[in-house]
């Protein structure tokens, strides 16, 4: 669970960096997306590993939640979880399911059309199409709103998940203050960055 989480954190960093290019330069975004979308290694090794990593992460998350609930069928008489645990750590399954629902919408928006375009219809490759396809999706205020809400839930999920992954992976406790700082920095900056990208394209296209 921890290793798949750390792997998804790396993916998020990569995904954010490429998407941020769409704000800086449409040409650079198109070039990078074209490379990622046509490179054999990315398409047939990294992409399947990523999809398996995502499936593993949420299947294990749901399995562990069910197992933990079964381990305590009778609830505590007096539950004072807030005294030694954060809201985020107690609601990982909830914030995770919201992120999963977002991924359903996000795959419907980008990933499925991409797979259909390339591997079902076998359409000729057009290296300049990516920017237009991305911007078009952010014209709809409802979709932009759903994305922004999802990114806030992603932030809440990461605020606990990021440092918990390091802890489960066995990092020495002397690094704890640094892991805490890195957790807050990553978990706030990356989702806020995604929110910025979504709002930027919405605002510059109205």
Question: Is the four-CA dihedral 91, 7, 9, 129 of positive or negative sign?
Answer: negative
- Tokens in use for 111? 């990933």
Report the C-alpha gap between 135 and 204 in whole angstroms. Answer: 9
- Tokens in use for 75? 């609830």
Residue closer to ligand HEM by CB (options 179, 190) is: 190
Report the C-alpha gap between 5 and 142 in whole angstroms. Answer: 29
Q: Is 50 in the site for ligand HEM (CB under 6 A)?
A: yes
- Tokens in use for 28? 């650079």
Q: Is 158 in the site for ligand HEM (CB under 6 A)?
A: no
Instruction: Mark residues 58-97: x for contact with ligand HEM by CB under 6 A, - for none.
Output: ----------------------------------------
Name the nearest CA neighbour of 151 among 190, 185, 104.
Answer: 190
Q: Is 118 in the site for ligand HEM (CB under 6 A)?
A: no
Residue closer to ligand HEM by CB (options 47, 91) is: 47
Number of C-alpha atoms within 13 angstroms, CB side, residue 50?
16
Stretch of 62-70, 81-89, 106-114, 180-188 contacting ligand HEM, by CB under 6 A: 106-114
Residue closer to ligand HEM by CB (options 2, 199) is: 199
Q: How far is the CB of 160 from ligand HEM (least distance, A)?
A: 15
């Amino acid at each position: 669970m921890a290793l798949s989480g750390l792997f998804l954190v790396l993916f998020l960093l990569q995904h954010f960096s490429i998407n941020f290019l769409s704000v800086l330069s449409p040409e650079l975004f198109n070039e990078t997306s074209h490379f990622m979308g046509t490179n054999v290694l990315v398409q047939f090794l990294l992409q399947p590993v990523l999809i398996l990593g995502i499936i593993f992460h949420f299947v294990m998350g749901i399995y562990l939640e069910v197992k933990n609930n079964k381990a305590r069928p009778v609830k505590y008489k007096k539950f004072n979880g807030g005294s030694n645990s954060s809201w985020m750590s107690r609601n990982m399954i909830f914030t995770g399911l919201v992120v999963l629902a977002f991924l359903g919408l996000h795959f419907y928006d980008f990933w499925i059309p991409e797979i259909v375009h390339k591997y079902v219809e076998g359409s000729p490759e057009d290296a300049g199409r990516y920017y237009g396809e991305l911007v078009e999706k952010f014209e709809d205020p409802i979709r932009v709103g759903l994305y922004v809400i999802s990114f806030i839930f992603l932030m809440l999920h990461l605020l606990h998940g990021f440092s918990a992954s390091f802890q489960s992976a066995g990092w020495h406790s002397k690094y704890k203050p640094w892991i805490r700082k890195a957790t807050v920095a990553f978990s706030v900056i990356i989702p806020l960055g995604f929110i910025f990208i979504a709002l930027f394209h919405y605002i510059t296209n109205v």
